[in-house]
Structure 1
Amino acid sequence: MTYEFHPWAEAEFLEAVAYYESRVSELGTQLIQEFEALSSLISEEPTGWRIVRQPDIRRAPLRRFPFCIIYRAKPGLLDILAFAHNSRRPQYWIDRR
């Protein structure tokens, strides 16, 4: 299964990568690796994470970084709606389609 970012979600992800990379060399790369690993897990079992918005929007948290992937599973595709910080601006992404 592949994934596709909402344009704003991609910007959020790239901003987080740049932030961590600017703090510690290779930390941005580690964020990318964790994102890819979680995306693979989601692809294997897309309904395995908690629903946060009915009927089908789910939240999958990263382990090491304070972010989560907000997504909707479609046939053969993960539609990533947000790369959201766990404690900032809750549910700001609600209106994304």
Structure 2
Amino acid sequence: MKLLVLSCAEQEFAEAVDYHNKQCPGLGYEFAAEVQRAFERIRRHPSAWPIFSVRARRCLTDRFPYGLLYQVRNDCILVGAVMHLKRDPQAWLDRVGDAFAEQ
């Protein structure tokens, strides 16, 4: 199944990579690899993760405290957020709901 990352999630992902690289050189690249593995797991098994809200499922990364919010459509998977788990989930749900509705 095709996996599409919405621009808002791409921006969050890029910001998180930069943040982690500033904390420790190379850590951002390790984070990026972890998120890419999560994308692949979602692509292979889109129904494997629980429904997080009415509009989305959430796949947690293994090493970093991040969750990927996504929605399964008929022919593709839309990733709407790369969210840090310590932040307010309702803000992501509101934003992701709007982003999913626009697609």
TM over 0.5: yes
The aligned length equals: 96
Would you say 1:15 and 2:15 are equivalent positions? yes
- 1:51 deviates by 0.1
* Superimposed CA distance per residue, residues 35-83 of structure 1 (whole angstroms, 9 cap, x where no aligned partner): 11111111111000010112x5100001111111000122442201111
TM superposition score normalised by structure 2: 0.84
Would you say 1:39 and 2:55 are equivalent positions? no
State the AA in 2 paired with 1:77. C
Alignment-derived partner of residue 58 in structure 2? 59
Larger fraction in strand: 1
TM superposition score normalised by structure 1: 0.88
In structure 1, C-alpha distance between the alignment counterparts of 2:66 and 2:17, rounded to whole Å: 11
Alignment-derived partner of residue 91 in structure 2? 92
Larger fraction in helix: 2
Structure 1 76/33 Cα, relative in aligned 2: closer, same or farther at 3 Å? farther
Q: Percent identity?
A: 29
SS of residue in 2 equivalent to 1:51: coil
Unaligned stretches of 5+ residues in structure 1: none
